[in-house]
Amino acid sequence: MKVSIDYWKRKHMPQFLNLERLVAREQGREPDKEDYFLSLLNEDGVVGCVATSGDGVYGAMIYELFPTRLDIVHFMVQPVCWRCTIGIQMFNNLVAKCQENGRTVISATVPESYDGMIYFLASRGAKVKQIKRKLFSHEHKPAENGLYFEYSVPTRVIQKVPDELIEL
């Protein structure tokens, strides 16, 4: 499924929250609340994007920008679309943004129970760099370890234009 990746707007919030509920149910956790997302998106250097097709939101991500890296804060794809390349399109979009702006690393810290995201990041070439002990805590569950992933952004290949093709 081909999607368009656009910056998050307030009009996306109802579908964004519905997507969060669906993903949270699949992961066996409580969904994050609207206030949490709004506070994140109001922080400096934090960007939200949605993957849309037609009138629907099929994926969403929130990331934080730093001078040399991009940290994925939240990344989700509608469960019925987990094998439809939406996540790959979203990740490739992040890679392209990093290449355009000179960022060399994409990082993410993922709870160790999120098998799907761990597999996804590993399949993209991200490597576990650190285990963060008892980082994530959930109501009625013991604290959980987080896996810190890093993905090295490939440099853009710039092809030299032969001199004879350059007009003077």
DSSP string, 11-60: GGHHHHHHHHHHHHHHHTSPPPPHHHHHHHHTSTTEEEEEEEETTEEEEE
Q: Report the C-alpha gap between 51 and 93 in whole angstroms.
A: 10
**Angle (deg, nearest 10), helices 115-124 and 86-101:** 50
> Span 99-120, mean pLDDT?
88
**Residue 116, pLDDT above cutoff 50:** yes
Confidence category of residue 80, pLDDT binned at 50, 70, 90: confident
Task: Provide the H-helix boundaries in 28-153.
Answer: 34-41, 86-101, 115-124
The whole-number pLDDT of residue 161 equals 45
Q: Six-digit token pair at 85?
A: 């390349």
Please tell me the CATH superfamily of domain 4-154, with its number.
Gcn5-related N-acetyltransferase (GNAT) (3.40.630.30)
**Residue 22, pLDDT above cutoff 90:** yes
Confidence category of residue 54, pLDDT binned at 50, 70, 90: confident
Q: Report the C-alpha gap between 100 and 118 in whole angstroms.
A: 26
> Span 89-101, mean pLDDT?
92
Q: Which residues pair with 48 in a beta bridge?
A: 62
* Domain ranges (residues) in the chain: 4-154
Q: How high does pLDDT run on average in the chain? A: 84
Confidence category of residue 70, pLDDT binned at 50, 70, 90: very high
> Span 50-67, mean pLDDT?
92
**Residue 81, pLDDT above cutoff 70:** yes
pTM of the model as a whole: 0.82
> Span 7-27, mean pLDDT?
91
